[in-house]
Amino acid sequence: MYNLVHNFIRTLSLAEELGDAAVEAQACYSLGNTYTLLREYRVAEEYHARHLAAARRLQDRVGEGRACWSLGNAHAALGNHEKALYFANEHYNISKEVSFVQDGAPVA
């Protein structure tokens, strides 16, 4: 598992060097999920927060929703229940928005 961490960190470093926000977002998402599997929730929370910031820069609402879901889970695991609820609500609101509008048209 730690080989994955090393590879994702390398990917993140390269993305930052190249200024590729999309790859940076994906690397942070992957690192957050990997650290969650390792039960290192504080580190996972840091990477999920970075994923959220990158998704916002990219105006990627689906990415924002995923990051909020992951942040909610990380905060729940850390016992930060108010923050967990906040991010769960953010995920819910983004999910409603994304499922309502797809390709610029309301979803039936």
Kindly state whether residue 104 falls inside one of the protein's structural domains: no
Domain extent, residue 40, equals 2-99
For residue 104, name the pLDDT band (cuts at 50, 70, 90).
low
Measure the CA dihedral 82/90/19/6, to 10°: 50
Number of domains in the chain: 1
Kindly state whether residue 107 falls inside one of the protein's structural domains: no
For residue 99, name the pLDDT band (cuts at 50, 70, 90).
confident
State pLDDT tens for residues 10-67.
999 999 999 999 999 999 999 999 999 999 999 999 999 999 999 999 999 999 999 9
- Between CA 17 and CA 94 the distance in angstroms is 30
For residue 108, name the pLDDT band (cuts at 50, 70, 90).
very low
- Between CA 28 and CA 104 the distance in angstroms is 28
Two structure tokens written together for 27: 């690397």
Q: Answer for the pair 68, 48: CB distance below 8 angstroms, yes or no.
A: no
Kindly state whether residue 48 falls inside one of the protein's structural domains: yes
